[in-house]
Amino acid sequence: MELIKATPAFPVREIDKAVQFYKDKFGFDCRHKEDTFAILVRGNIELHLWASCNYSWKWKSIFLFLKPISSGAESFLAGTHSCRIEVKGVEELYKELKEKEVLHNEKTEIESTYYGTREFAALDLYGNLLSFYENV
């Protein structure tokens, strides 16, 4: 038995807007897109986006104690996920993403960690967190 790879899957409210954001800001290409799902690639990295577009919970929220939310695609899930992506050339990627204004915040810098990485964080359109790191 062998585990081969993991693929992050991010909840987003609108697939088309999210795909365009990842293309424009993060440099990903779209390999596949449907109304509620997309596959993005850049280099050896593959990300999946899924539509977190169920707004029906808003109208039922007063009765949540009777019937909990359970569709798994509620709109409030967008922006709640994260992943770590190993890179070579963290400084170059940092400069690229800083110019695209997707860093976690305006004070985000490349940090050296006690566990041997240099890393920084960025956010997608909905607030999902992507941490990019390089082993040193």
Number of domains into which the chain is organized? 1
Give, for 26, the enclosing helix (H) or strand (E): helix 15-26
Residue 71 inside a domain? The answer is no
Residue 13 inside a domain? The answer is yes
Question: Which domain covers residue 47, as residue numbers?
Answer: 9-66+76-135
What is the average pLDDT value for the chain, to the nearest integer?
88
Residue ranges in 27-128 assigned as alpha helix (H): 57-60, 90-99
* CA-wise closest residue to 52 among 130, 123, 126: 126
CB contact at 8 A, 106 and 97: no
Q: How far apart are the first and last CA of the chain?
A: 30
The 10s digit of each residue's pLDDT in 38-88 is 999 999 999 999 998 766 655 555 555 555 555 555 666 777 899 999 999
Position 125 confidence tier, pLDDT thresholds 50, 70, 90: very high
Residue 3 inside a domain? The answer is no
Residue written as tokens 């690639």? 41
User: What pLDDT is attached to residue 34?
Assistant: 96
What CATH number did the domain enclosing 46 receive?
3.10.180.10
Residue 81 inside a domain? The answer is yes
Mean pLDDT throughout 11-33? 97
